[in-house]
Structure formats: C-alpha cells, structure tokens
Amino acid sequence: MKKFLPFASYNLLLLFQPPVGREHFHCDMKRGFTKVRKEEPKVKALLEDNTPQRIGLLAQKGVYEFHEHPEMFSRKDGVEQIAEILQLNQELAEVQQRVLNILKNYHQHPFLLNKKIIQLSRGDEGFSEPILMEIGDSKFNFYAAIDCIFQESDDTLHILDFKTGKSDIDRRQGYLYLLTASYLYPQQKAVASFYNLDTCEHSELIRADAYTLEAFAIEMKIIAKKHQEEKKSYYYYRQEFSTVFRPNPGIACNYCPFKTICKFSVSEVSV
Ligand code: SF4
C-alpha cells in the first residue's frame, strides 16, 4: 500500500507564517478552511471566487501563449489574438481590462523573448510532481509550482516567478525555488527572481548558499509535520475546528475570503 506522506509548499508556509509586515493579517483558521475544509461546497466556492487569482492565472497563460505563437510579438493585432485564445471576452469586465493591459505590456516588453527557456508553465496544469525530501528520519513531499526557468548565457538557471498587481515580494519564495532547483538540477548554479507583469519591474536576483537551503529544507520539514498533526486532530474531532485552527478575529477578517461563513468574523475593523 502506498504510504501517505506529509507535504509542504510555499503556500503552506504562508498559511503558517505570514511575510514580515503582514502579521496582523494572519489567522490559523484560514489555514483550516483552505487546507482541511476546501472540499465543502461553500468553502470551495469562496476559494474559487477570487479575482486576483483569476487575473494571475490568465496573465500567466497569456505569456505562455505568446511564446507558443511567437509570430504574435511582431503582429499589430498580437494582443487581440492572444486575448481571443484566452477567451478573455468571457471574463468579468475587471479581469478583462487588467489582463488586456498585461498582454499589451508583454507585447511591448517581451521579457523572455530570445531567452533560452527550459520550462514555461501555462499556470493551469494542476499540482506538479512533488519532490520527495528526506531530512533526518523524516520524509515528506515538497510541492513547488515554478512559472518559468530559463538559462543564462553562463548556463546558470534562472527561476522566474510572475507577479501581478501589488503583490509584495517574499524572498522566502525565492529561496524555496532555489531549494527546488537544488533537487531537480543538482549540478547547476541557480538564481531566482520575480517579474511583475503589470509594472514590467524585475526584482533583484536571489541567491542562496547550501546552509540557507538546508535551513529552508528543515523549515519545510517542520511545517509538514505540524500540518500533518493538525489534520489528524481535526479529522478525529471535527467539532474542534476552532481549537485546532485558532481564529484571530480583527483586521485579518476584513480581507479574509471566509468572512461570510466564519462565525468568528468581525468586519469593518480599521487598520
Ligand atoms: S473571518 Fe476572521 S477569524 Fe474567521 S477565518 Fe477569517 S480572519 Fe480568521
């Protein structure tokens, strides 16, 4: 019988430890909704009804389609053609407008054009194959969805993450990409960076030494174990949801996707 292993990912790390400066938005109960109650119809609907995520996904698909059809870079109607491939006219007006701007930006500043692309994700491929990590006597699956990998002229692998909107950069995500690269391409040097498709701004390059990568691998082991334990507790005592996943009512509720179904929600708390 296949043994079920704990898992970790950047997304899970975010749900345990918010980035610096966003601590007041943290709530463990959000992790509970997102990770253990995600199949409940009401929770599922709230998780799917997410405009920023939709924009991010279509922006990523747009970049992918441009590189699938490189002739679009030199066509005057390239943006419209890609919008048609994406069936953008079927999206909400806000989504259409934002994605169209992103496509125009990319048409004018095709960051990856002439780069040696090793991998470019469409964004809707589902979960990637996990990396099996063994740290000490613990084994767990590590998931990392990489948007793009290209090769620099000196053969260094460059892992690129696309951002949209005002997404803050979390260097931890860059380190986790480098951890992934150290498993997938152990012989090659790697760097990571972020590229904002709305603003056409590129982050600084992130590099990591072996000690930093080891520290992140250990961190992943710890959260994989913690999450495994809290899932077990919840499945044994479902009525104890709020004991296992502690609510943090307050400012966090204003921006929480679950505020309409969470009995601890308080709204209109000013920052
Ligand atoms: S509504 Fe508030 S208490 Fe409830 S899960 Fe969201 S942030 Fe936590």
Residue ranges in the chain assigned as alpha helix (H):
10-16, 28-36, 41-48, 51-68, 78-85, 93-108, 171-184, 210-236, 241-244, 251-254
- Average pLDDT of the chain, as a whole number: 92
- CA angle, corner 37, sides to 36 and 39, nearest 5? 110
Which phi and psi (to 5°) does residue 131 adopt?
-100, 130
Q: Does the C-beta of 265 come closer than 6 Å to ligand 1?
A: yes
pLDDT digits (tens, 9 = 90+) for 40-71: 999 998 888 688 889 999 999 999 999 999 99
Tell me what pLDDT residue 142 has: 96
Find residue 149's DSSP bridge partners.
Answer: 119, 159
Structure pTM? 0.91
pLDDT in tens, 116-157: 999 999 988 877 889 999 998 899 999 999 999 999 999 999
Q: Is 236 exposed, middle or buried (0-12, 13-18, 19+ CB in 10 A)?
A: exposed
CA of 265 relative to ligand 1 center, distance in Å: 5
Total structural domains in the chain? 1
Which residue owns the Cα nearest ligand 1 atom 7? 253
Structure confidence at residue 66 (pLDDT):
97
DSSP state at residue 4: P
Pick the atom of ligand 1 nearest to 262's CA: 4
For residue 167, pLDDT over 80 is answered with no
Residue 244 within a domain? no
φ, ψ dihedrals at 269, nearest 5°: -85, 125
Q: Tell me if 248 CB under 6 Å of ligand 1.
A: yes
**pLDDT tier at 268, thresholds 50, 70, 90:** low
Q: Domain for residue 158, yes or no?
A: yes
Domain that holds residue 222: 7-14+24-48+114-227
**120 domain residue, yes or no:** yes
